[in-house]
Amino acid sequence: GESVGLHLPTLSVQEGDNSIINCAYSNSASDYFIWYKQESGKGPQFIIDIRSNMDKRQGQRVTVLLNKTVKHLSLQIAATQPGDSAVYFCAENSGGSNYKLTFGKGTLLTVNP
């Protein structure tokens, strides 16, 4: 079946560096993507989203890039801080009427001071 996956299960960076978290998706019908952040002991929190008619979207210190040609999604975090340490999930909406989101398995980001 079609699924959302991640290239790297763990990522360790130094405080102040930029982080890049990658995600591959296989459903070419997906038209909407979201990145979530999950801190230890908490529920996932929305970070940023992007529609399939866009290549790039920027938020505060975060940028999401979408490459539909290779079905690849990435989350860039600028000047990574210790508070960014968390598991990051990408999710895709395949466009069905049930608005179902399919989640990737997550990448653990660790920021070293």
Partner 1 sequence: EAQVTQNPRYLITVTGKKLTVTCSQNMNHEYMSWYRQDPGLGLRQIYYSMNVEVTDKGDVPEGYKVSRKEKRNFPLILESPSPNQTSLYFCASSLVYSGANVLTFGAGSRLTVL
Binding residues vs partner 1 (CB under 8 A)? 31-32, 34, 41-46, 49, 51, 89, 93, 95, 98-101, 103-106
Closest separation between CB of residue 33 and partner 1, Å? 10
Residue 8 or 79 having the CB closest to partner 1: 8
CA neighbor of 62 nearest in space, from 32, 20, 109: 20
CB 38, CB 104: distance < 8 Å: no
SS3 helix, strand, coil % of the chain, rounded to 5? 5, 55, 45
Closest separation between CB of residue 15 and partner 1, Å? 27
Residue 63 or 113 having the CB closest to partner 1: 63
Closest separation between CB of residue 14 and partner 1, Å? 27
Residue 8 or 46 having the CB closest to partner 1: 46
CA-CA-CA-CA dihedral for 72, 77, 82, 86, to nearest 10: -30
Closest separation between CB of residue 30 and partner 1, Å? 10
Give every CB contact of residue 91 below 8 A, 6+ residues apart in sequence. 4, 33, 34, 35, 36, 101, 102, 103, 104
Residue 23 or 111 having the CB closest to partner 1: 23
